[in-house]
Structure 1
Amino acid sequence: MASYNLSPELRDLIDLAREMLDTEIFLHRRTDVPTQGLLIDDYTFRTGKNVIAFSSSQLGMLKDFVIAKQCLILLARGIAAKNNRYRVLSFENQTALAGARQIYLDTLKDENTRKMEMWRKKQLIFELFLLFHETLSELPLTILANIVIAKQYPVMRNAQVYSLLKGSMRDMHDLVPVKDFIPQRYFVLHNGMFYARDMLMAYILSEYKLNPVINIPELQRFRNLDVKEMMTHRWSRSIWYHTKVIGDAMSNILKLSVNYDFEREIDPDYFLAVYECCVDIVNRWLVMMAMQDWYT
């Protein structure tokens, strides 16, 4: 394994993962890797090896944070697999059909998409179905990895806060360019998951600036509004208002799932519990979004 000037804390974590999983971990620095890093693990992709890639633009503790986050995700998946508990969020013909049918019905109800050409609707159904599959496959365990870092690796705190702030701005605006071409419901639900992440991490890290109503410009207008004002017609038509309402609800659900002592000593049972928390988050969010029949 190349050195890449890793911090002692990260080296210890990688050594721990290699020992617990009895496997080698390969690190790769590449120019085409997203800023959040990339994990290609054998447990999910059956590649025969575990690779963590990070952006060549990242240096110092920011690089270490990105690698540590992916390493913790690897540990959770690996320990779950060793206990025959790991399951990849997937779908079959019947479940995909249920999701496609619901998205299609929503395109008929929403004024943005009601008159859309059929070929565009078909493309939209496919893209939205896969978008939520990807987010639900990755986000919950990423949230939990961030919690573990916050509790177990405080040396990475500054890099973590910086990464979360940048990531929040990116994630909350991913769908903005197409918000007028998709049913509002899906913009709100997708952003609501990232809103919930940011609210939880703001609480855990005691970082007020991570709160989305502070960090996200479109949500800042709701910062000092009371409930009566927010229920007025003016705000009730705002897609960002609905994002806040749904995001607050998803944040409350998230707190119910993250019911574990993340400060306890790390061992295999620790990572199995982290994975079980992930499963609980996915199941609760699927029920809330009425998508429990979409995936298996």
Structure 2
Amino acid sequence: MRHPEQQYLDLMQDLLENGDRRVDRTGVGTLSLLGAMARFDISTGQVPILTTKRVYWKTAVKEMLWFLTGGTNIRPLLENNVRIWSDWPLAKYRRETGEAIGQADFEQRVIDDAEFAARWGELGPVYGKQWRRWIGADGREYDQIAEVIELLRTNPTSRRILFHGWNVAELGQMALPPCHMVYQFHVADGRLSCLMFQRSADILLGVPFNFAGAVALQMMIAQQAGLQPGSFVWMGGDVHLYLNHQDQAREQLSRQPRPLPTMRLTRKAASIDDYRIEDFEVAGYEPHAAIQADVAV
């Protein structure tokens, strides 16, 4: 039987061999392809936390839990030792103040100084704001996640069970427009499947995190709706490998996948807002070593 992770590795190989070389927003350059798909059966508890390199899945889940708060400031992330969003506000701070502050010092100031955090730790109306606090043209606030759970409970065959973050009116205010931008849900035989569309997919660094975060979200929503997990379907739009990640990609492709780990929720939370990182248990995760690479900002 073909290892599920091979879908990801084949896509990485395809990018190396056939990707369109282009200059991107960051100036780093990418090898890019349009349109990709991967499907994972998570009904047995096995989840696509990649094994050909170590994926820090707790960081991905903590980020997802932060999205669910509707928050837009990096301070709570830093307090939980999650530093994956620091690059954007740090770049803005350096650009606007001219101060050549180091990342560690900047992050510590955000943690220590609430006023500084409010001014410089803001990301604008990113993911969680749109998921939980979308402001409609009527001035009302819409909680898309709550609506998804309600529909799953009351009308599970609906084709309208989805949420997204691509709020055209607010894109210009965001530090980074949403990459994983649409989540759609499907119920069959008491199992919840999730399709996630990612318009911009950094295959080496971003996609492995997005796999882990999305299945964690799927498990939480399934539990809140009284369902079991089914399949996780990932779809990529512009799938790309940064030019300075090619050696790392070749290193990852040289490794053989190991058995995927399992993930489970250790308790049923009172609501979608009540989950904590301690509620997630991953077992049997024995990956190859981590692969270091720079984030393109």
TM norm structure 2: 0.25
Instruction: Decide which structure has greater helix share.
Output: 1
Instruction: Decide which structure has greater strand share.
Output: 2
Higher relative contact order (CA 8 A, sep 6+): 2
TM norm structure 1: 0.25
